[in-house]
A and B are shown apart, each in its own frame.
Chain A
Amino acid sequence: MKIPQVSVFVSNRPGRLQAVCRSLADAGVNLLSLTLADSGEFGLIRLIVSDSEKAVEVLSKAGLTATITDVVACPVEAKAGGLADLLSTAVGNQQIDYMYAFPASSKAGKDIMILRFQDTDAAIKALEASNFKAISKEELLG
């Protein structure tokens, strides 16, 4: 199950994150997750939002470059070895471009990992063959 993630290119200077959040807020787009990657001069803001298409449109209008890519959300046990267990399956052999943990567990006893695979379809197949399950955006919303 793929989840659309919005990535925004921003210059690495004060006020840019604010500009992104304000534009989305004014358009009534709700943020489900946010993570930042940075490299000296620029950064990438990665967001899972209530309405991805709308978010890209709003951000383009605000003069920002944004794209949508697919990620996979997978709950793991909120205990020592939870993530290690997931990566011990065939999923661990997939090329992972980056991953981040969903802040606080929305489901009791579970942390949610967001993973960006190089080959999303192959990764989902690997997940299906394991005991782990990718969840939808609706499930993520709780």
Chain B
Amino acid sequence: MRSTAWNDEENKVLPEMALDFMPEEQLRELQLQRLRATVKLAYEKVPLFRQRMDEKGVKPEDIKTLKDIAKVPFTMKKDLRDTYPYGLFAVDLSEVVRLHASSGTTGKPIVVGYTKEDMEVWASVIKRGLLACGFRSTDIVQNFFGYGLFTGGLGIHGGFEALGATIVPISGGNTERQVMLMKDFGVTALAGTPSYFLRIMDVAEKMGISIRDLGVKRAMFGAEPWSDGMRDYIEEKTGIKCYDIYGLSEIVGPGVGCECECRDGMHIFEDHFYPEIVDPETLEPLPDGEEGELVLSTLSKRAMPILRYRTRDITAIEKTRCKCGRTIRRIRRIGRRTDDMIILRGVNVFPSQIETALLRAEKILPNYLIVLDTKNNMDTLEVKIEVTREMMSDSMGAMEKLNKKFKQSIEQILGVSVIVTLCEPDSLPKSEGKAKRVLDNRKRM
């Protein structure tokens, strides 16, 4: 038996969870205190924040209540890129113990840094999320988030380490080995992107191994939007309970928020991150319960404080208290991002809608890719769907019927005409981390 506090396993509220249940008044006071300190730090140490605030005539002392956060200018991804690599750091590099960076597929990568305390906070919020979802120190966890510059792998690793679980730091890729170790090591918990887990399920099936019969009980999925339909699909096929963790590198990485056992929205760890919802067009703050773009400010980060970061994630802050009793507020699970949004002939299309359509048509979730193109000055949307054995028939008529069924289901949900192409497995880019779902070949005017 691993050593845990003598009564920890029996208690509903573990000591580490106490912060999730802080009296609301106290939580708001703590947030204000920390917000004021963060704004001051950013103003004094980061030229970009000082310049932006000076332009608006805002001084750190003007933040007297939490509502005053609306006076602070927004931060965008572009700001992180423009100040590459260390322009937004508020401490001397000698205090920075860790750097992470985005892949930089759209230009220069964005770089984020952490002090020793930042690292501790990061691990502690993930640990709180894991505990809330029933993960325990006795778990043997296979972490197939990518290790390296990406915040997912090492971030989650730190959280499980703080929890005291046994970590299998396998990273992404080498899918047959993933299945083998899951079986041989007696893995009880998983962490990674859900799209890669679908791949693992596929390969396990080909290897003749039933994941349901292994000892895996829970999975923490994140780093990409995934639908409730995908969750139901995975749970029905494998019996593994799936939970959603939320985060983004600009703020800290995974662990900004996380579901609890109720799985009714993701709790934001509000003592460290301050959430707001704004109208993506007017940028006016919206009240709890209304849907808009999530804006986040760090409240305790020292190496790289970020004020009012526009996440591009579309969600709402829940008005009601969660059944679990946590006082920290919840956001709805992310189904859409403003920058994932495809505008096709004037209609807004989100990749997650394709998932819903496929599940509705055939109760299956094959690998798919959305290809946008321009033909005769018209934008076209093609959905390429990989044919799996469960979809396949030796009858041409049945295959054509399947194609038509997918097409109708997608068109019904999107409200625009699409082209559906069935294609061979392995002909689409395979996910080993975040799934690539859209290829835009459209000619821009």
Contact = CB atoms under 8 A, between A and B. Distances in A.
Interface in B352-380: none
Contact of B392 (A11, A39, A63, A65): A65
Interface string A64-75: 111101000000
Nearest to B422: A42
A4 to B, nearest CB: 11
B1 interface: no
B425 interface: yes
Given A10-B424, A64-B425, A67-B389, A97 B395 contact: yes
Q: How large is the interface on B (under 10, 10 to 19, 20 to 34, 35 or more residues)?
A: 10 to 19
A9 B424 contact: yes
B396 A39 contact: yes
Contacts of A5: 394
B394 A7 contact: yes
B400 interface: yes
Secondary structure call for the A interface: strand
A44 B206 contact: no
Given A7-B394, A44-B394, A44-B396, A65 B206 contact: no
Interface string A59-103: 010011111010000000000000000000000000001100000
Given A9-B387, A67-B389, A98 B395 contact: yes
Interface residues of A, number: 22
A27 to B, nearest CB: 16
Given A39-B400, A44-B394, A65-B387, A11 B423 contact: yes
Contacts of B206: 60
A108 interface: no
B426 interface: yes
A47 B18 CA distance: 65
A65 B391 CA distance: 10
A42 B399 contact: yes
B205 to A, nearest CB: 10
A7 to B, nearest CB: 4
Nearest to A67: B392
Interface in B381-405: 387-389, 392-397, 399-400
B387 A37 contact: no
A84 B347 CA distance: 55
Given A39-B399, A39-B400, A7 B392 contact: yes
B424 A69 contact: no
Interface in A1-49: 5, 7, 9-11, 16, 37, 39, 41-42, 44, 46
Contacts of B393: 7, 67
A91 to B, nearest CB: 19
Secondary structure call for the B interface: loop
Nearest to A19: B424
Interface string B399-430: 11000000000000000000001111111000
Nearest to A62: B426
B203 to A, nearest CB: 11
Nearest to A71: B394
Contacts of B395: 97-98, 116
Contact of A63 (B389, B396, B399, B426): B426
A69 B394 contact: yes
Contacts of B427: 11
A65 B394 contact: no
B394 A67 contact: yes
Interface in B9-51: none
Interface string B131-170: 0000000000000000000000000000000000000000
A39 B400 CA distance: 8
A66 B392 CA distance: 8
B91 to A, nearest CB: 49
B423 A42 contact: yes
A61 to B, nearest CB: 9
B423 A63 contact: no
Nearest to B397: A97
A123 to B, nearest CB: 15
Contacts of A16: 424
Contacts of B387: 9, 42, 65
B134 to A, nearest CB: 36
Contacts of B399: 9, 39, 42, 44
9 contacts: A9-B422, A11-B423, A42-B423, A44-B394, A63-B424, A63-B425, A65-B425, A97-B394, A97-B397
Given A9-B399, A42-B421, 18 more contacts: A9-B387, A39-B396, A39-B399, A39-B400, A41-B421, A41-B422, A42-B387, A44-B394, A44-B396, A60-B206, A63-B426, A65-B387, A65-B392, A66-B392, A67-B389, A67-B392, A116-B394, A116-B395
